Amino acid sequence: MSNAKNSTFRFGLHYYKKCIPAAILTQLMGFAATVADLFLPLLFEMFIDYVICSNTDGNTSIFSFLLQTEKYPVHSFRLFWHLAFFYIGLLLIRIILVYLKKLINQVIGLKLETTLRYKTYAKLMTLDSLTLSNFNSGELLQTINSDTIMYKDLFCKMIPTIIDSSFAMILSIVILAGMSPWLLLVPLLLTPVFMIELRRFKKLSRERYKEIRNCNSNMTLTVQENIEAVRLVRAFTNENLEEEKFSDANEKLKKAHLDQIALSAKFEAVFSSIKQAAYIGTIAVSSVLVLTGHFKIGFLVACSQYVMKIMNYVTQINNNFFQMQQQVVSGLKMLNFMNTQSKVQDTDAGITDEKNKMPSIRYENASLTLSGKKVLDKLNLQIPYGKKIGITGATGSGKSMMLEVLVRNYELSGGKIFINEKDSREYSLKELRSMFSYVFQEAFLFSNTIKSNIAYAEHGTDEQIITASRHAQAHDFISRLPEGYETIVGERGIGLSGGQKQRLSIARALMKNSPVLIFDDSTSALDVETEKKLLADVKKFYPEKTILISAHRLSSIKDCDEIIYMKDGNIAERGTFDELIKLNGHFAGVWKIQEMQHSSFVDFDSLAERSQPEGEK
């Protein structure tokens, strides 16, 4: 096995370790079932040679018969019944053992699958936004949902079957060697052919399974995007284009599967030919041995059964190695994902310091480079606790990023951020993030009740939930819903307008009750009046909190203690509203136009161009 495959195996073994005692028990059951199974041809041989083919009458029991060194034909009904009893007894034992073994193995498999799914999910939660953006969602869903199921089969199906088959094969060889070493010649001669063919097929199989997996994740992504963008597709009447894209992904998946089916068929044809050759070879050799008087007919039947068993086990082992490539591919994908290092590293410092309930913030030459582009460029800013700061600027100027780096969704490429004069990286992520109630640009609601969505971070009383909703201007519309706070929203619930979703997200952040509130363009879908009321209420009811509001609509931030105008990842202008108007720069230019237009939508790119201060033109 190559290094990659070794590590893939070791990675799974780490989680499988706890199941090893149960796995050993099932393996022992498997061995016992094999022993029972391998006894059957011997009983069959006695039945043919000493019950059916004999013509001497006798009255022998199976025990006395087995103990005799010199066996003779008995043609006894007593022996017949004893043989039948033993045969059925062994069959029953075998069936019970195989049943128990499969049951326990399935439970072990389910346990391992659940652990693997949990671990991959937990890993997903630790990754920072930039690292996560390197994976597409189809790929991530494939890893968490399908690869975990596939990979656990390596430990709970493939490896146990290979061990079982190897044990049975070795035992069959030993028995056959005891009966007639000549018949071992055939399987021994064919084994190298098996090995060479298997090596060739294994490599091809792994390639095919890789292709199937890639096509699968592409397919998942296509379906997911189409579900999310269904309204967009209809609005652009682009159903045909999307259908073509879907059909293309679907066809590629079909082709990948067909290629694998063709390979499997070829594999089976080749291996069944080798098996048939073994069978014919055995018949030929044993016919000679019977004709020359070396074998009785029942002995011949038993020997050929062992040869066939050996060949079946060899085929089964090969088949498992062939199919195992699918599990190896899934394991490699999982290993790759689990080895992905988050750019944001957590610390062990976990205890909440009382004074962090009133954090001051300081950016010191904070820089962020994403995909080679400077998104924040040596940003310096001090925000004492309790200040209300408005942030505005052209689209793409870095407003969201300067807020996201506060909670370390992205890691700074240079400079530092201090919280209470302590480097933010020295806080545990849990503690750092507990200081901020963040309302993101896109309002996301879980498929759950409104109440649970609002009480997402804090399990508050009904009264607290209603209070937060009132302050977020959401209580009135929630009360008008037939189910009120118990209404299910999100993907599986009723539809809400963009503004309603934003208000629920704000209520959720207010419920969290952190000392710093961050509104990242999160009131953009509200009408001017509601937005004004909401922000006024937030300032009124949470006067002590630091509030950072990023907005395009300048009226939203007009009353802030300080306004920051961002440009190219840095602060272009800062001051109170009056100071910025007096400055007559970018901000004043945008303000004039917004006032003139009374519009809620502004194209900052063009406005920023037009409103450049005299000196910069």
Ligand X SMILES: Nc1ncnc2c1ncn2[C@@H]1O[C@H](COP(=O)(O)OP(=O)(O)OP(=O)(O)O)[C@@H](O)[C@H]1O
The site for ligand X (CB under 6 A) is made up of: 130, 133, 370-371, 373, 375, 393, 395-401, 521
Give the separation between CA 507 and CA 513, rounded to whole angstroms: 10
Q: Which amino acid is at 217?
A: S
Sole residue written with tokens 């035992």 = 171
Structure token pair of residue 496: 């809400």
What residues have CB less than 8 Å from 148, skipping those under 6 apart?
Answer: 113, 116, 117, 120, 330, 334
Q: How far is the CB of 530 from ligand X (least distance, A)?
A: 21
Give the separation between CA 202 and CA 269, rounded to whole angstroms: 15
Which helix (H) or strand (E) element contains residue 185? helix 185-228
What residues have CB less than 8 Å from 261, skipping those under 6 apart?
Answer: none
For ligand X, the closer CB: 329 or 403: 403
For ligand X, the closer CB: 286 or 397: 397
Give the separation between CA 188 and CA 185, rounded to whole angstroms: 5
Give the separation between CA 519 and CA 551, rounded to whole angstroms: 8
Sole residue written with tokens 């310091």 = 353
For ligand X, the closer CB: 133 or 336: 133
Q: Collapsing DSSP states into helix, strand and coil, what is residue 57?
A: coil
Q: In DSSP terms, which residues pair with 381 in a beta bridge?
A: 363
For ligand X, the closer CB: 23 or 566: 566
Q: How far is the CB of 547 from ligand X (least distance, A)?
A: 17
Q: How far is the CB of 335 from ligand X (least distance, A)?
A: 25
For ligand X, the closer CB: 154 or 551: 551
For ligand X, the closer CB: 373 or 598: 373
Q: How far is the CB of 395 from ligand X (least distance, A)?
A: 3
User: What is the three-state SS of 373-402?
Assistant: EEEEEEEEEEECCCCEEEEEECCCCCHHHH
Please state the separation of Cα 547 from the chain's center in Å. Answer: 37
For ligand X, the closer CB: 194 or 440: 440
What residues have CB less than 8 Å from 263, skipping those under 6 apart?
Answer: 201, 204, 205, 208
CA dihedral (504, 506, 507, 508) positive or negative: positive
Q: How far is the CB of 517 from ligand X (least distance, A)?
A: 17
For ligand X, the closer CB: 130 or 338: 130
Q: How far is the CB of 314 from ligand X (least distance, A)?
A: 53
Q: How far is the CB of 324 from ligand X (least distance, A)?
A: 37
For ligand X, the closer CB: 397 or 505: 397
For ligand X, the closer CB: 101 or 558: 558
For ligand X, the closer CB: 33 or 506: 506
Q: Are 562 and 389 in contact (CB under 8 A)?
A: yes
Q: How far is the CB of 393 from ligand X (least distance, A)?
A: 6
What residues have CB less than 8 Å from 440, skipping those under 6 apart?
Answer: 505, 520, 522
Q: How far is the CB of 538 from ligand X (least distance, A)?
A: 20
Q: What does the DSSP 8-state code read for residue 427?
A: S
What residues have CB less than 8 Å from 297, skipping those under 6 apart?
Answer: 48, 49, 53, 290
Nearest Cα to Cα of residue 397 among 135, 605, 169: 605
User: What is the three-state SS of 460-498?
Assistant: CCHHHHHHHHHHCCCHHHHHHCCCHHHCECCCCCCCCCH
DSSP for 228-286?
A: HTHHHHHHTT-HHHHHHHHHHHHHHHHHHHHHHHHHHHHHHHHHHHHHHHHHHHHHHHH
Q: How far is the CB of 374 from ligand X (least distance, A)?
A: 9
For ligand X, the closer CB: 147 or 521: 521
For ligand X, the closer CB: 187 or 398: 398
